[in-house]
Amino acid sequence: KAAVITGGASGIGAATVARFVAEGCRVTIGDRDVERGEAVAELLGDDVRFVPTDVSIEQDVAELMATAIDDWGDVDIVFNNAGFGGALGPIAQTSVEDFDLTFDVLVKSVFLGMKHIADHMTERGSGSIINTGSIAAIDAGWSPHLYSAAKATVIQLSKTVAMELGDSGVRVNVVCPGAIATPLLVGKPDATDADLDAARTAFAPTVPIGRVGEPADLASMVLFLAGDES
Ligand code: NAD
């Protein structure tokens, strides 16, 4: 199979790229972090391509999907996963610009990622789209206002698109990670191993099994949802 994975330069996305390649899948990474994206692609070899992409820009996402279809012939799986923390702080101090940016990166990106693969998948009569939500989409108190609201929107948009595309054999699912040890949890893209360990320790008590999630845990879940058996 062939997949497009956004946010594949780091964290959950990078772990999913590696797992998919290990399972024999060809993967196109779309990420705005060119240095890290190219490094992941180089490490994993010929089955991975990197396309510099800002997922909040329609032209970028359209080109990402078109490039993947050109390179691999077909695209079976799209993992709309890129994200960031978005606007921080109290509601009274949140600017409209920060609102727009947060929803552009977390919601418009998922809309575009589905919009620009829907025809390709429905024409083939199969496909699996997986979008990244969050525990913050379901429970309040995990994250800032707009991140929570944006991720809740991702869930509902995925449900309505699943209803439209299901008849054509295309599935749409959302994964809602809890605390996962990635740079996003730490709050800096260049988080060190020590930073990640500190986050693991800090968040472990919030998880019933006593440890935070790891990117590889999510990769396993996404792999399951990508496969026909799911
Ligand atoms: P991460 O910071 O390790 O990776 C996010 C990736 O998205 C980075 O490579 C970054 O460059 C990319 N990205 C950000 N904005 C982009 C844009 N506009 N265009 C293209 N690429 C962009 O974080 P992660 O934890 O792996 O996050 C992956 C997804 O998981 C996100 O949607 C995040 O909201 C979600 N999530 C994470 C956690 C957690 O605890 N880590 C929990 C719930 C949900």
CA 51, CA 47: separation in Å to the nearest integer? 13
CB 116 within 8 A of CB 62: yes
153-197, pLDDT tens digit by residue? 999 999 999 999 999 999 999 999 999 999 999 999 999 999 999
The one-letter amino acid at 161: V
Give the per-residue pLDDT at 112: 99
What was the pLDDT predicted at 218? 98
pLDDT digits (tens, 9 = 90+) for 116-132: 999 999 999 999 999 99
Among this protein's residues, is 134 annotated catalytic? yes
User: pLDDT class for 45, splitting at 50, 70, 90?
Assistant: very high
Pocket mutation for ligand 1, best pick of 51, 78, 184, 193 (most atoms within 8 Å of C-beta): 184
User: 53-82, pLDDT tens digit by residue?
Assistant: 999 999 999 999 999 999 999 999 999 999
Q: Above pLDDT 70, what percent of the chain?
A: 100
136/147 Cα distance (integer angstroms): 7
What residues contact 29, with CB distance under 8 A and at least 6 apart? Answer: 5, 6, 8, 9, 13, 17, 37, 40, 41, 48, 49, 50, 51
Decide whether any atom of ligand 1 lies within 6 Å of the 10 Cβ. Answer: yes
pTM of the model: 0.98
Catalytic residue among 109, 143, 147, 158: 147
Which atom of ligand 1 sits closest to the CA of residue 177?
43
Q: What is the pLDDT of residue 163?
A: 98
